[in-house]
Chains A and B, each alone.
Chain A
Amino acid sequence: MKPPKFMYCDPDSVEEAVALKSRYGHDSLVLAGGQSLMPMLNMRLANPEVLIDINRVTDLQQITRDGDVLEIGAGVRQSVLETDPAVAAAVPLLGLVVPYIGHIENRHRGTVGGSLAHADAAAELPCAAVTLDATIVVQGTEGRREVPAREFFEGFMTNCCAPDELVVAVRFPVTPAAAGSAFVEHARRQGDFALAAAAAVVTLDAQGHIASAAVGVAGISGTPVRATAVQDALVGGPTTTEAIAAAAAAVGDSVNAADDMHATGTYRRHLAVTVVKRAITAAVGNAAAVERNGS
C-alpha cells in the first residue's frame, strides 16, 4: 500500500492552483484533506502524474456571510462546521450532518470542498448541498462559475468540473428562521458511509400544515437526490404520522443502488423510506419548536 511516483506541487494561491490544474488537467488530482485520496493513492486506485496540494491556499479557508448566503471556502475543515456559531445560526442543517462524516479525526483533516468534489453519493455534505439548493463555486482558467448542487453531481463519484477547474467554495442560502431542519442516517457502524440518509428542511403554515419541504436523500443512487415526489406529497398537507409515512413511501421508487455486501436493494428501499420518514418527522418537530419558542 504505497503510492506510485507522482510530482508534488503546493501552490499558495487559487490562481496558481488553477494554472497547475489547467496545465496538467486529467493527469492531476487535488489534495485537500486527503481522507479519500490518500487511501486511493496508497491502494493505487488513483495514479496521478501530479498532486496539487491546496492546503497552503489560505484564501480557500474562509467562511463569510453575505446577506442571505453563507459562503464556505473549499478548504474549510469539516469539523469547523460543527462548532462555528455563525454556521449554526445561518444553516442549522450543516451542524446536524457533519457529525456523521467519518470520525472526528477525519473531520479535522477532511475539507468541505474535498467532500463535495469527491461526490460520493452516500456522503453527507453533498446530500446537504442538494437539499439546501446550494451552489458550488468552481474556478478555472476562464474564471469562476456557480453550479447548482443538483447539476454539480453528475453520477457515481463524478462532478461537473472541467479538467482545468477546481472547487473553491460552496454557497448555502441562509435557512429561514422558522424552518425546522433534521438529518437521519443509518450506516453499519458509526462513521461509515450511509446505507441511506435523509435531510429535511420544512416550514409550517399558520394552520400547522407543511408550507414548504426540502428533502434530500443519500446512498440510494449514483448521486444524492432530492425526493421531489415526497416533497410534493407533503406540501399543504398535515403533519400527522400517517401523512408523513404516506409521503415518505414515495422515495422507494428513487432507490436504484445495486445490492452489495452491506445492503440488499429491498433493504435499502425500506431504509430509505424509514430515514425519510424520520427526518421529516424530526424536522416538523423542530419547526414546531421554533414556532413555540418564537411566539
Chain B
Amino acid sequence: MTAVADGEANEKPAYTYIGSDRKRVEDPRLLVGRGGYIADLKMQGLTHAAILRSPVPHGRIVSIDATEALKIPGVIAVLTGEDVKKHMNPCMNFGPPTIPQFPIAVDKVRYVGEAVAAVVAEDRYIAEDGVEALVVEFEDLPAVTDPMKALEPGSAVLHDEHGTNLGYERTFEFGDISEALGRADLVVEDTLHWGRSAGMPMETSGAVARIGLNGVLEIHCNSLNFSYLQFLVATALKIPSNKLTMRPVPAGGSFGSKFTAHKVPTLAGFLALRTGRPVSYVEDRLDHLMNSDHHASDRYYDAKMGFTSEGIITGLDIDVVDDYGAYLQFGVGTHGNAFSQAVGPYTFRDLKYRLRAALTNKCQQGAYRGFGSEVHNWVLERLIDKAAQELGLLPEEIRRRNFIQPDQFPYKIPGGNLYDSGDYPKVLDTALGMIDLAYWRKEKARLREEEGRYIGIGLATTQERSVFSSTEFWFWFDEPAFPITSSPESATITIDPTGAFQLLLHCQAMWGNSPETVSTTIVAEEFGIEPNTVNVSYADTARALPGTGPGGSRYTVMVAGAVRGAARKLKKKLIDIAAHTLEVSAEDLELVDARVQVVGAPERSLGLPELAASAYFFALSLPPGMQSGLEEAYTYDHPYTTLPSADRTDLGVFYPIMGHACHIAVMEVDPDTGQTSFLDYVAVHDAGTVVNPKSLGGHVTGGAAQGLGSTLYEELAYDEEGQFKSSTFLDYLVPTANEVPPFRIGHVETPSPFTEYGIKGGGEGGRMVTPSVVSAAIDDALREYGMRVRELPVKPSEIVATVQDSLARG
C-alpha cells in the first residue's frame, strides 16, 4: 500500500518515468528460475571445495593429518594454513595491520567456524567426506567471549602482534558535553545492548575460479565491490592485478552480507591456483551462519542524554563497547555510519562519543543494512522515549520540539557531516495523518479495562543516511595508511546500429535490489524510450570503469548520476549528427520521445534508428571530425564530500544525502506468553525524489522486516565457552510472512539539492526505524509492569519475567 503525500506536485519537474509505479525489470527472469546464480554456473572439469571449520573458539593448530582424506577416491587436494602462509599475503583489511586475516586460519583459530582446511574434490559430497576424514589436533587456549572481560588486563589475547584485545579506541567530543549535561533539567541514562544479527539472503556467498586464457585467473563471484577493490584480491593472491579478472554473478540477496565479502572469492581463487583445476566454493548454510564475513553490530552502551524541562535535548554522551569478534576487517566503519547522523533529526550540538572495539573469540563483523547507523538510531530513540515518559510528553511532541527545521538546510551537524535537505515535521504529520492515534490511545485504555488486553503504541523519527564517501573508512586514524577519497560509479550507454539501447554497469550491482529497474528508468527518462527495451549487462574487472557498487544506500543516486552523465554526452552527439543532417543549428534541436526534432517544428525530425545508422555506417554523412559509433561512458564521483580536518575536530562531509523516516506501530503484547502482534503499522519515508514507489516500498518493507528480526527474533548467540548456538535456522529465527505485519507505506519527497533529479538513497531505512518503534510499543503496552526494552532481541521470556517480577513485588 503506497501513498505519495506531497501536495506540491506542480513544483516538481514533470517526469515521464521517474516517480511512477513500475514493475521491476529484474523480476521476470527471477520468477521463472533464471536468475543465473553462482551455484548454476557449470564448467568442464569443475571441482568443489568444502571447509573444515574450527570446533574450538580459541586454539593453536598443532597438526592437521590429511592422510585418510587424501585416500578417498575423488579427493584432489587438502590445503591448510601452512599453504596459505607460503603462497598468500593477508586478505584485504581496513583495520589495524596488526590484526591480519587469511581465508584459512594460520597457526591459530580464533572463533568457532573459522576455516582450518579446505578439501577440493570432484563433487561436494566427496569434499565433505574428505572434511570428515581430516584429523586435527588443537591446543586449546582460553576462550575470550565477554567483551568487557576481554579488555581487562590478564585476559588471553587473540592477536599477539596486536598485544591487546582492544582493537581500537577513540573518543570524539564535539561541543562541551559536561556543560550540556550540566545545564540540563533532566539527564536520562541507560545501559543498552544491541545483540548480533546478520543479513540472511536465501543465497549464500560463493565463487567459481579457474585459470583461463593467458594464465589469467578468472573468479566469478556474487560478492565484493570488485571494480573498486579487485587489486586487493590480486595482492592477497600474490598475482599481478591484470592477471585477475573478476566476473560479476547476480546475487540472491545481500542486505550487506555480500558487501566486500572477500574471503570466499579469494579462497576460491587460491584453490584454483594451487590445484590448477576450476574450483567452486559456495558456502552452505552452516558455513554462512557461523562464518559469514558479516555478523553485524554487537554493542554495549552506557548512554546519557540531557533535556530541558521543555524536552529540548541539550547533549548526548555515548560510551560504547562494540564486540567485533576475532578480526577488524572494516575497521570501525560501522561507527562512522553512526556519526553521519549522530544527532538524528534533532538540533542539539553537544556530543561525546567514546568507542572501544573489543576483540573476542567470535565471528568478525561486516555490513548489515544500516551498517551500524541503525544501532545509534535505536539508542537515540530509546533515550528520547525515556525522557518523554519522565517529562510527561507524548512521543510525537518531544520529537517535534527538537526537529531541525526545513529552513535550516543544508545543516552541518556536530562532527562535521552535513544534512542536505529535509522536512521532518511534514514526515511526522504525514505519518500521523495515516493513523488515528487518538483512537488507538482510547482503545488502549478500553481494552485494558474491559478485556484485560495490553496494547502499546510506538513512534520513532530517525535519519536514513545515504551515499557514503570513502573518507569514513579512515578519518578514525590520525595517520591513515590509505586516505582514499574516491567512491565513483560509472555507466556506459550504447545505442546500436538499429537504435536499440545497451547499458553497461561497472560494478557488482545485482544483489536482489533493483539496479536495472532504476538505471533503465533513467535511460528511458533521458531518451524518451520504454525502460524495458534497454538491455543491461555488467562489466568484468578487465573492462570495468571505476565503480564502487551498492552499499550505504548509494547505488540509485550514483547510477542515476552516471547514466545521466553518459546520456548527456550521447544526446549531444545525436543532436550534432541531426544538426548536420538537417542543416540546422544544434541549439535549435531537442531530443523528445526518441527523436531529435527542431524546437517548434517537430515535423522536422530524425528518429534514433536513422541517427544510429548514420553514426555506424555513413561516416561521410557525419559532421567533419566526428568518430563513428554511438557509445558514451561517464564516471560520476560522489556529489558532495569534503576532507576531515587534520585534528579531526571536523570529520568532513561524508554522508550528506540524508533521508528521514517516521514509523508508528500499534502492538499487542500477551503478558503471560510474551507473544507480540501488530494491530497497525505505518512507515513514512523521505528519500528525496522517488524513482519508483514500488521498488522503494519494497526496500522499506524488506528493511522493516529485517528490523523486526533484529528486534524480536534473530540472535547470533555464543555461550560462555565460545560455542556458537545459532548454527541453523532452527535456532536463528528469521521472521517469516507470518510474523511480519503489512506495513502501510507513505512517501514524502524533499529532493536533494546535490544529486541528479534530487534522488536520495532509501535502501536501508526500514531497518533503521523498526527496532526503535517496536521497542517503544512493547514498553508502552506493559508500562504498568515497568517494561523497558534494554537489550535486543527482546525475547518472550524476558517480557514474561518482567511482568512476573513486577507482580511478585506487588
Contacts and interface: CB of A to CB of B under 8 A. Distances in A.
Given A189-B713, A267-B801, A274 B728 contact: no
A292 interface: no
B607 interface: no
B594 interface: no
B96 interface: no
Contacts of B590: none
Interface in B757-810: 795-797, 800-801, 804
A188 B713 contact: yes
A192 interface: yes
B675 interface: yes
Nearest to A39: B728
A192 B795 CA distance: 15
Nearest to A259: B797
Contact of B132 (A1, A4, A262, A275): A4
**Which of A2, A5, A191, A266 gathers most chain B CB within 10 Å?**
A2
Contacts of A193: 730
Interface string A43-71: 11000000000000000000000000000
Contacts of B124: 2
A32 to B, nearest CB: 20
A4 B736 CA distance: 31
Interface of B: 124-125, 128-129, 132, 284-286, 672-675, 713, 715, 717, 725-726, 728, 730-731, 733, 735-736, 738-739, 795-797, 800-801, 804
Interface string A185-217: 010111111010000000000000000000000
B735 A270 contact: no
A261 B726 contact: yes
Nearest to B726: A261
B335 to A, nearest CB: 27
Given A3-B125, A261-B731, A267 B674 contact: yes
8 closest A-B pairs by beta carbon, nearest first, are A267-B797, A190-B738, A1-B284, A2-B125, A274-B672, A186-B673, A2-B128, A264-B797
Interface string A262-277: 1110110011001100
A193 B129 CA distance: 31
Interface residues of A, number: 26
Contact of B735 (A5, A189, A262, A266): A189
Contacts of A39: 728
A44 B132 contact: yes
Contacts of B739: 189-190
Given A189-B739, A193-B730, 20 more contacts: A1-B284, A1-B285, A2-B128, A4-B125, A4-B128, A4-B132, A44-B128, A44-B132, A186-B673, A186-B675, A186-B796, A188-B796, A189-B713, A189-B738, A190-B736, A190-B739, A262-B731, A263-B797, A267-B801, A270-B800
Contacts of B284: 1
Nearest to B48: A2
A192 B733 CA distance: 9
Nearest to A271: B673
Nearest to A270: B800
Contacts of B796: 186, 188, 195, 263, 267
Give the interface SS of chain B, mostly helix, strand, loop or mixed: loop
Contacts of A188: 713, 733, 796
A105 to B, nearest CB: 12
Contacts of A264: 797, 801
Contacts of B285: 1
A264 B674 CA distance: 13
A127 to B, nearest CB: 17
18 contacts: A2-B125, A4-B132, A44-B128, A189-B733, A189-B735, A190-B736, A193-B730, A195-B796, A261-B726, A262-B795, A263-B797, A267-B797, A267-B801, A271-B672, A271-B673, A271-B800, A274-B673, A275-B673
Interface string A17-45: 00000000000000000000001000110
A274 B804 CA distance: 13
A266 B801 contact: yes
A227 to B, nearest CB: 17
B444 to A, nearest CB: 22
Contacts of A270: 672, 800, 804
**Which of B286, B728, B796 gathers most chain A CB within 10 Å?**
B796
